[in-house]
Amino acid sequence: MPALSPDEVLRYLNAKGFLSSAEVELVKTRWNVERDGPLLQWIGKQKLLPEEVAADIIQLLADNRLEGLEPALPGLVLLALAGKGGRGSVYRAWQPSLKRVVAVKILSRELAQNREYLQRFLREAKVASKVSHKNIVRAFDINKHGGNVYLVMEYVAGSSVGDILRQRGKLEPAHAMEIAQSVAEAIAYVSQVGIVHRDIKPDNIMIDRKGRVRLCDLGLARPSGATQLTSPMVAQGTPAYMAPEAAMSPEIDSQADVYSLGVTLFRMLLGRLPFDHSDPVEILRMHIEEEPRGLDGGELPGALSDLIRRMLDKEPRRRPPARELPREIAALIKAIPGLDKSSLWELIEGGEPTLPVPGQPGGLALEPTGELGFVVTQAPPAQKPWEGPPAPAVEARPMPPAAGKLTGVGFGTMALALVLCLLYIVFYTLDGPPEPRPDPEAEKLRAENLELRQQLKSARENQSALSDFMARAGAQWRSDQAELAKLSAREPKRERLDAVLSELDELRALQTASELPGAGD
């Protein structure tokens, strides 16, 4: 396929929903190939599209994949494969209807064809999609098209903690503690609605270019107490980060997430795992039976080692409660010098501080807001290129000085306002601050989670009743077979059919011989 001209590229971007008509006209008036270089790279630099999306489009055009990667999903353009694991593949995708980048996780064929897993997964993913927290990657939607079941999630432009550890080996204590505190806040939040993540590990923790920590894969979590489904879900979680109780029983709670975060914190601070072996089964045995080594070597402050040791306790009840863990980590950060100075954005390629730099010139466009999964990265331009010149500023006239002095009415008004302020302060101090209003969304999530638990309980009761019925039916069948065997033993033994037939043949032969002439002489 011959290379597309700039006009053809712009028509393609407009037809696929990457650029609006106004943005296309802006590019035509501003872009110059000799001065600005290749068109799509310039569009990315000017923030009309995220730079990674512009790079993906360049690759798609080079590969003649104008409709995006396979499989084709309605309302989405798959741009690039971002990762692949045992449960499915993750793609970076463009959602034209909302003009945003999203992450799309397509379940593996094995899981998508497992009816029991799929039905429960759809119900539980709907609950998880309603969870909204600053440190959680939100699941927007879950759908099925053809034979593909896919989850549409918020896209985080940055790197996973796993990738950072593979590059650096370990992290500075200040960086590690800030990451742990953010993840602990996410765990505390989801524990309030009864959801267990079940797979806390560095690869599921993202840091965006602003240095914000986000916990991924919540859309694949399950309510606390939910049992394993079928064989594809036996290895729920990653053995190196799995809590002892998760290795022995599927019915776990948020304390298992606390344990996994403790392993993650151990890995970030010391550059190694507390339990490591080439055999996953041996790793699970070590989680269950052995104590972590390396916390007494003096590499970490004593209080920090004690916290990790408590998080890695074999008994869930002796670990810090999930709801209190963020406060414990925050208190430790304040108590140990140097832990409160962290700039996570420095760990990310292309990272920048959260606060804008004063006087920095704005780009031609803005990324979508944080409500849609992204943040404003630059200040908006003072004047859009397709708008006319701004109207001349009207010179402000100075206000005339106030005439006269403050009257008695003015003094009375001021005195009344002062008395009201004092009364408010007194009552506020005596009664205490007003209690925060309950979060209606959290109550709704609790109700839906309770309904899921009731459904699970009903399914287990039905399964138990069916097992009892099958056991009784089996016992009755065995009893009937034994009775039949006794009756057969009492009956006289009959000759076999072939013996009877042979005797009949002999009788017929004798009768025929007696009827021959001279047979009676």
pLDDT per residue of the chain (521 residues) written in tens, 0 to 9: 578 899 999 999 999 999 999 999 999 999 999 999 999 999 999 999 999 999 999 999 999 998 999 999 999 999 999 888 777 899 999 999 999 999 999 988 888 888 887 887 777 677 777 788 999 998 888 888 988 999 999 999 999 999 999 999 999 999 999 999 999 999 999 998 888 888 899 999 999 999 999 998 875 555 555 544 433 334 456 899 999 998 888 778 899 999 999 999 999 999 999 999 999 999 999 999 999 988 887 889 999 999 999 999 999 999 999 999 999 999 999 999 888 877 898 899 887 776 544 444 333 433 333 333 333 333 344 443 334 444 444 444 555 554 445 455 566 677 777 767 666 665 554 454 445 455 666 677 777 777 777 777 777 777 777 777 777 777 777 777 777 777 766 655 555 566 667 777 777 777 776 665 655 54
Residue 417 falls within a domain, yes or no? no
CB neighbour list of residue 505: distance below 8 Å, 6 or more residues apart: none
Are 56 and 154 part of one and the same domain?
no
Alpha-carbon radius of gyration of the chain: 36
Residue 36 is a catalytic residue: no
* Domains: count for the chain: 2
Could you list the residue range(s) of the whole structural domain that residue 20 is in?
A: 6-62
Residue 1 falls within a domain, yes or no? no
* Residue 363, pLDDT score: 36
Q: Are 117 and 229 in contact (CB under 8 A)?
A: yes
What's the angle, vertex CA 217, arms to CA 181 and CA 223, rounded to 5? 90
Residue 315 falls within a domain, yes or no? yes
Residue 260 falls within a domain, yes or no? yes
Are 338 and 285 part of one and the same domain?
yes
Are 179 and 216 part of one and the same domain?
yes
CATH number of the domain where residue 227 is located: 1.10.510.10
Residue 199 falls within a domain, yes or no? yes
- Reading the block at residue 474, the tokens are 């089996």
* Residue 125, pLDDT score: 76
* Residue 131, pLDDT score: 84
Of the residues 7, 56, 163, 199, only one is catalytic, namely: 199
Are 40 and 109 part of one and the same domain?
no
Q: Are 30 and 364 in contact (CB under 8 A)?
A: yes
| C-alpha distance across the termini of the chain, in Å | 113
Among 395, 385, 442, 380, CA closest to 127:
442
Are 38 and 95 part of one and the same domain?
no
Looking at the chain, the number of H-run helices and the number of E-run strands are 17, 10
* Residue 234, pLDDT score: 40
Are 307 and 181 part of one and the same domain?
yes
Are 45 and 91 part of one and the same domain?
no
* Residue 465, pLDDT score: 74
Residue 476 falls within a domain, yes or no? no
Are 19 and 152 part of one and the same domain?
no
From residue 176, alpha-carbon distances to 143, 169, 205, 340, 468 in Å are 36, 12, 12, 11, 52
Per the DSSP assignment, residues forming a β-bridge with 205 are 215
Helix or strand or coil: residue 98? coil
Domain finish residue from 287, 318, 347: 347
* Residue 396, pLDDT score: 47
Q: What is the layout of strands, in order, in the sheet containing 77-84? A: 77-84, 88-95, 100-107, 148-154, 139-145
- Long-range pairs, 444-452, Cβ under 8 A, ≥24: 444/130, 445/127, 445/130, 445/131, 445/193, 445/194, 446/192, 446/193, 446/194, 448/126, 448/127, 448/130, 449/127, 449/193, 449/194, 449/195, 449/223, 450/194, 452/123, 452/124, 452/127, 452/223, 452/226
Q: What is the layout of strands, in order, in the sheet containing 213-215? A: 158-160, 205-208, 213-215
Domain finish residue from 347, 362, 383: 347
* Residue 519, pLDDT score: 52
